[in-house]
Structure 1
Amino acid sequence: MTLKERYAGVIGWFEANMPVAESELQYKDPYQLLVAVILSAQCTDKRVNMTTPALFEAYPTPEAMAQATVEEIYAYIKSISYPNNKARNLAAMARMLCTEFGGVVPSDLDALQRLPGVGRKTANVVGAVIWGKEVMPVDTHVFRVSARIGLTRGAKTPLQTELQLEKNIPSHLLPVAHHWLILHGRYVCTARAPKCDACGIAPWCKSREKQKMADK
């Protein structure tokens, strides 16, 4: 199977079976999504969604969070992974958002990455979800699933994975394809004991292909 055939099969299946795929993070505006994505680094969306309601009630706007101390923010997010670093980043992010961007989350991805706690992946997630930017955010699920299926070849870093996926997936599908791969990795193509027998894209999966050949 060629790489082009693999991509065509995988994309075709997802378009037919998962036409709507969205972030599982709960948010009401770009500011809330930005905060939630920062908190979601190395943490589950489920845990983030349990934490953010009280946080957003206390700090409903960037201006409100900018007035908070790191210790005050920490009290709301202490159940999240790496709460000390994230509390510092949120406090600094909110202050910069207010002083340099008028309290408005910038749609420019380079500008977004100037904010404390915002790296390439976080900026790409916010850009793709809020503004439909044609980018491919790469988290652990996307990195693992892409390699396992065979959508990427020899990608050693998230950036290498991102560039290979962006080269082979039609640009207008990138925002939804990001969610296809995340949700597939979260619920079907799990890190341990993937549910291959229940996988709709198994016919195009390189790992499944190897397994079948080994069983012969």
Structure 2
Amino acid sequence: MVGQKASDKIGECICILEELYGLPEVDEIDPVDLLVRTILSQNTSDINSLRAFASLKRAYGDYESLLSTRAEEVAESIREGGLAEIKARRIQEALLRIKSDRGAIEIGFLGGMEKEAAMSYLLSLPGVGPKTASIVLLFAFGMPFMPVDTHVFRVSQRLGLVAPGLSPEKAQKALEEIVPPERYSSFHLNLISHGRLVCRARGPKCEECALQGCCDFFLQGQKP
């Protein structure tokens, strides 16, 4: 039904997505690796960012050696991830700040902090915004944050789960209020899958979509 409250239909959306894509398995990953990988994922595809991360790990045995290398050389190792110069600088500056603060390049201490304090620390690092910080805290530490990337933002707006005109940061807060915390991971990953495969930015496959019955975009007859 068009206009159905987001809080009333979120459970249906979650169930449909889990029927389609299952309960995603999340591999255990070193928190610093996840931070670096997520910085590399900014403004590029997963394929390119994962290739860039693999290249970075091959080029540098550890993050200490990465810090001792010129930014231009680091940029060459992550070239296929896009925005290489900017990302190389951000990664080095973030790692340097962590080392300065903690005496080592590790962020395991975040797991012992209150969630908002952990978020504030990550946001203080160069190149780290709410999405990057939320991904690290959710997937490395199990903290209840709902990361909002471009797919999550687009699909949740089309479904009517967040109000039109909200910023991604406010959309995150809105989703965190209606999605059960134990489903943050599942909903985030499944919404990304759905955004890539069906609810695409251009040419969404509305006629094939299993979420038709709870999608404002479809029920209002809007054109892609």
- Whether the TM-score (by the shorter chain) exceeds 0.5 is yes
- The match for 1:14 is 17
1:105 to 87, 107, 131: 107
Q: 1:98 to 1:59 in 2, by over 3 A?
A: farther
Work out whether 1:82 is the aligned partner of 2:83. yes
For residues 186 and 116 of structure 1, what CA distance do their matches in structure 2 show?
Answer: 29
Report the residue type matching 1:198 in the other structure. Answer: E
Contact 1:145 1:181 in 2 (8 A): yes
Structure 1, residues 2-22: CA drift from partner, whole Å, max 9, x if none?
223321210121233333225
- The match for 2:94 is 93
RMSD between superposed Cα atoms in Å:
2.1
Structure 1, residues 49-91: CA drift from partner, whole Å, max 9, x if none?
1222121122243322222221110111122222111111111
For residues 28 and 166 of structure 1, what CA distance do their matches in structure 2 show?
Answer: 24
- The match for 1:45 is 46
Runs of at least 5 residues in structure 1 that lack an aligned partner in the other structure? none
Work out whether 1:140 is the aligned partner of 2:150. yes
Contact 2:18 2:186 in 1 (8 A): no
Report the residue type matching 1:169 in the other structure. Answer: V
SS of residue paired to 2:221: helix
SS of residue paired to 1:118: coil
Moved segments of 4+, more than 6 Å? none
For residues 51 and 22 of structure 1, what CA distance do their matches in structure 2 show?
Answer: 23
Q: CA deviation at 1:201?
A: 1.5
Work out whether 1:184 is the aligned partner of 2:198. no
Greater CA drift, 154-163 or 10-19 = 10-19
Work out whether 1:114 is the aligned partner of 2:124. yes
Report the residue type matching 2:20 in the other structure. Answer: N
Contact 2:146 2:175 in 1 (8 A): yes
Structure 1, residues 131-161: CA drift from partner, whole Å, max 9, x if none?
1211111111111111111111124201121
Q: CA deviation at 1:28?
A: 4.4
For residues 191 and 134 of structure 1, what CA distance do their matches in structure 2 show?
Answer: 27
For residues 147 and 14 of structure 1, what CA distance do their matches in structure 2 show?
Answer: 16
Q: CA deviation at 1:93?
A: 1.5
Contact 1:38 1:117 in 2 (8 A): yes
Structure 1, residues 162-189: CA drift from partner, whole Å, max 9, x if none?
1111111112211221112112111211
- The match for 2:113 is none
Contact 2:55 2:77 in 1 (8 A): yes
Report the residue type matching 1:175 in the other structure. Answer: S
- The match for 1:172 is 182
Contact 1:32 1:56 in 2 (8 A): no
Greater CA drift, 178-187 or 57-66 = 57-66
Q: CA deviation at 1:114?
A: 2.0
Structure 1, residues 35-61: CA drift from partner, whole Å, max 9, x if none?
110011110010111222121122243
How many residue pairs get aligned? The number is 211
Contact 2:51 2:80 in 1 (8 A): no
1:201-216 matched pairs, under 5 angstroms: 201-211=211-221
Contact 2:134 2:145 in 1 (8 A): yes
Runs of at least 5 residues in structure 2 that lack an aligned partner in the other structure? 111-117
